[in-house]
Structure 1
Amino acid sequence: MVTINDIAKMAGVAKSTVSRYLNGGAVSEKTKAKLDEIVAENDYKPNKFAQSLKAKRTHMVGTIIPRLNSFATNEALRGLENSLRLSKNQLLITNADQSREREIEAISTLAKQRVDGIVFFAAAITPAHVKAFEEADVPVVIVGQSHPDFHCIIHDDEKAGHSVGAYAVANGHRNILVFGVDESDKAVGVTRRNGIEQAFEGHDID
């Protein structure tokens, strides 16, 4: 009898990826197509009893935030907590204090606490983050950055950057300093900066 471990080995992916696929979670289109084929070829049927055991909920959602003194993050947490309270769920907040290592630790800790999901306010998504989420095997929503294997909530950072740059240009400014972050933060350090620089094109701004 084929098991979930067998499916994972045949597909060359982690067991948690197969579990996420079987439970309707986010996986890449390429991985989904491969798993569709393997599951069909082997006539694999998930263990409904095991799935029902796993379905037990704690009614807790964990969040991982980069720092406590962020107005934008605090406003998002306020809305998230209000929504969860209305649906009889609780919010757990973990402050990573802008440390990648603490973010990885928090993913593991929240998974051990059997949270029903994790909301990750991301400055960057590294391979270590992806591995930690796969091992945790917990539904995740990433806020602020984009990744093909996860549900993500993102801003249109390029458009936002362009609006800021265009506003400065329209008000006659030509000697402009852009103060931002490094390129490990794709949303702000790359996409938003690109939008700003596009607004400067053709206006003799260095």
Structure 2
Amino acid sequence: MANINDIAKKTGFSKSTISRYLNQGSVSDSAKKKIKEAIDEIGYIPNSYARNLKSSRTNTIGVIIPNFIGYTKNTALNSINLYLKTTPYSMLIACSNDDMDEEVRIIYEMQRLNVDGIILFASDLTDKHMEAINNLSMPLVIFGQDLPSHTSIFADDYEAGLLMGSYIKNLNHEEISYFDVGSYDHAVGKRFEGFFDALRGTSIKLNHHRFDFTKKTAYEKAKDILDRENSTLYLGATDNIAFGIIEALREKNIRIPEDISVAGFGNYEISSLINPALTTVDFPYEKLGEYAIQSLIRKIDGGNEKKIQKTKPKLILRDSLR
């Protein structure tokens, strides 16, 4: 664990200067900035904070998310917020904007803010993440990833891909385009793994494309790929991606599903309302959000928690797939 000597070495200031900063004494603005940057970089936690973590509560839950994109994440957050209304706790949300180093910094910052526990919506878990997590002196719940050493709450994304693939492989499509998210999101990436495994042994040609979650990007990529590939089915790793694909198909006057079928994952509220209604996979994210906050509060209260809680997905067949 980092200490004052490490900060002194990093900044070139004396230990007395750093001590004054930590105790809110007189320090120049330039020195404050440099010391703060060093503290963030090395993950120093003042002893006073560590003592407070063991002796007092702030009734604050820290929630760290990678981005604000996505119906499913917001559904889980809403479920957490609704549950907290029945407790003395409030929620402090911080977003890393998919910057993994920033996410690690936020973990240390949450500890310095003396929150009672943390829910980490994890798209990736790097070595720096693991170092920060293992140094935490407060309860932590991982949401969206399977981390056997810690309480993990997640949907079975691999099973979701397997469900979709097992159904699609019998629909006589000879070429399929799969629009995946970037490699930074391992949980969503497991959907493709399940889908790919379901298609093993078939003669189906599978085109695999990676980019971000946004509908706009999916729309732009689909317009380009439609002119280069002969797929009769487009599958988005999220419903949001599928919506972008549908917009591109409509712009080119391609009929869905008569000419090209489309499906996604997530079962957003709007997925059943668009025309044609979207075939998708449903994940019970409301229940997962509730599991996460209940598990964290029990850990704060000293209870023993199951290491892993996962929920099974459900295939929702609608009109966009044939």
Letter of the structure 1 residue corresponding to residue 186 of structure 2: K
Task: State the SS of the aligned residue for 1:63.
Answer: strand
Shift of 1:134: 2.5
> Could you tell me how far apart the structure 2 residues matched to 1:160 and 1:82 are?
27
Counterpart amino acid of residue 99 in structure 1? D
Q: How many residues align?
A: 156
Q: Which runs of 5+ in 2 are unaligned?
A: 1-49, 206-322
- 1:162 — aligned with what? 162
Aligned equivalent of 1:42? none
* Matched residue type, 1:87: T
The equivalent of 2:181 in structure 1 is: 181
Q: In the alignment, which residue of structure 1 is the partner of 2:82?
A: 82
Alpha-carbon distance, 1:53 to partner: 7.5
Deviations, residues 170-204 of structure 1 (Å, cap 9, x unaligned): 33322111221344533232x32221012212331
Residues 1:54 and 2:54 are matched in the alignment: yes
> Using the alignment, how far apart are the partners of 1:110 and 1:167 within structure 2?
44
| Partner deviation per Cα, 1:73-117 (whole Å, 9 max, x = no partner) | 111000001111211210111011111011011101111111111
User: Partner of 2:96 in structure 1?
Assistant: 96
Aligned partner of 1:151 in structure 2 is 151
The structure that is helix-richer by fraction is 1
**2:193 paired residue number:** 194
Is the contact made by 2:53 and 2:116 (CA closer than 8 Å) also made in structure 1? no
- Which residue of 2 is the match for residue 111 of structure 1? 111
TM-score (ref. length: structure 2): 0.45
User: Which residue does 2:202 correspond to in 1?
Assistant: 203
Aligned-partner Cα distance in 1 for 2:96–2:136: 17
Residues 6-38 of structure 1 deviation map (CA, whole Å, 9 limit, x = unaligned): xxxxxxxxxxxxxxxxxxxxxxxxxxxxxxxxx
Cα distance between partner residues in 2 of 1:152 and 1:53: 22
Q: What's 1:38 paired with?
A: none
Q: Which has the higher strand share?
A: 2
Aligned to 1:129: 129
On the 8 A contact 2:53/2:114 being kept in 1, the answer is no
Q: Kindly, what percent of the aligned residue pairs are identical?
A: 33
TM-score (norm 1): 0.69
Structure 1 distance, partners of 2:110, 2:191, is 31
**Which letter maps to 1:166?**
S
Paired residue secondary structure (2:179): coil
Q: Counterpart in 2 of 1:18?
A: none
Amino acid at match of 1:142: I
Q: Which residue of 1 aligns with 2:249?
A: none
1:133-172: per-residue Cα shift (whole Å, max 9, x none)?
2233221111111112211112112110011222322333
- Structure whose alpha-carbon radius of gyration is higher: 2
